Amino acid sequence: VNRALFAAATGMAAQQRNLDIVADNLANADVVGFKSAAASFTPLGAGPGFGTVLSAEHHVFSQGKLERTGGPFDVAIDGVGFFSVERDGERAYTRAGSFSRGADGRLRNADGWTLRGVRIPSSALEVSVAADGRVSVGSPGGARAPAGRIALVAFAAPEHLRPLGTALFAATQGSGPPRELRAGGDRQPKIAFGMLEKSNVSIVESMMAILAAQRAYEANAKGVQASDEMLRIANNLHRS
């Protein structure tokens, strides 16, 4: 068995997938609430000449920059936690707070996921959201009326959340169940109204990761070439 050939080939395959992940990060660098993904590699064995495998892809839940948008229903989380959204009875969690008001008064994102806990009456003139998530609306009479509360949830192990789309996640056994998070106080996450969280993708780091993956791919390709060349020589040992 030619170990070197296989080891170098696993290196190429792993770097290829690594490049896919970095490219996906870059492609979503402008998506609100997007969390970048990172790859980790594991050796395939302990002896000499074993290859590698891209063993896990996990999301990095570091804070993205908050940007003022002035959208009437835009919210962002300053701190940890997720918004809880639902669609057709299914629950999901996101940090993308770009919502619009539906005909039924519920707040929806572009994919039709509804923010739980809030209903805006049709008579409302304007809406505001406090740092603790309380939503109030201004009515024609001038008095303010409560319209629900945006609840934040947290997970024991957010890295084990399952991605459902670009900025949407579902709970899993590994992540643990969602647990409600207090907001607005000292050392607690705050809800920023009229703002959106940008992705946490660093363009510079992604470019560097692409360069590194490319060179690593090339180095492994040379390993494949050298193995191939040696096999050719071995085959020519016997000259008829």
80 binds other proteins (CB under 8 A): yes
One-letter amino acid for residue 228 of the chain: D
Q: Looking at 27, 145, 157, 208, which residue binds other proteins (CB under 8 A)? A: 157
Kindly state the helix (H) or strand (E) to which residue 103 belongs, with its residue range.
none
Q: Looking at 138, 176, 184, 194, which residue binds other proteins (CB under 8 A)? A: 176
Give the C-alpha separation, 134 to 152, whole Å: 11
Which residue bears the tokens 């229903």? 73
As a whole number of Å, the CA-based R_g of the chain is: 25
Q: How far is the CB of 61 from other proteins (least distance, A)?
A: 9
Q: Looking at 67, 104, 126, 159, which residue binds other proteins (CB under 8 A)? A: 159
Complete DSSP assignment for 162-185? EE-SSSEEE--TTT---EEE--SS
The token pair at 70 is 């002035």
- b/e string for 67-103 if b means 16 or more Cβ within 10 A? eeeeeebbbbbbebbbbbbeeeeeebbbbbbbbebee
Q: Looking at 23, 38, 130, 164, which residue binds other proteins (CB under 8 A)? A: 38
The stretch among 86-94, 123-131, 141-149, 214-222 that binds other proteins (CB under 8 A) is 214-222
Of 117, 114, 103, nearest to 180 by C-alpha is 117
Binding-site size, other proteins (CB under 8 A): 55
40 binds other proteins (CB under 8 A): yes
- Give the sign of the dihedral formed by CA 76, CA 82, CA 84, CA 86: positive
The stretch among 25-33, 35-43, 91-99, 131-139 that binds other proteins (CB under 8 A) is 35-43
One-letter amino acid for residue 124 of the chain: A
**Choice between 43 and 112, CB closer to other proteins:** 43
**Choice between 16 and 100, CB closer to other proteins:** 16
153 binds other proteins (CB under 8 A): no
Three-state DSSP at 68 gives strand
Q: Looking at 16, 27, 30, 60, which residue binds other proteins (CB under 8 A)? A: 60
Q: Which residues bind other proteins (CB under 8 A)?
A: 2-5, 7-8, 10-11, 14-15, 18, 38, 40-43, 48-52, 55-56, 58, 60, 62, 80, 154-160, 173-174, 176, 187, 212-213, 215-216, 219-220, 222-223, 226-227, 229-230, 233-234, 236-237, 239
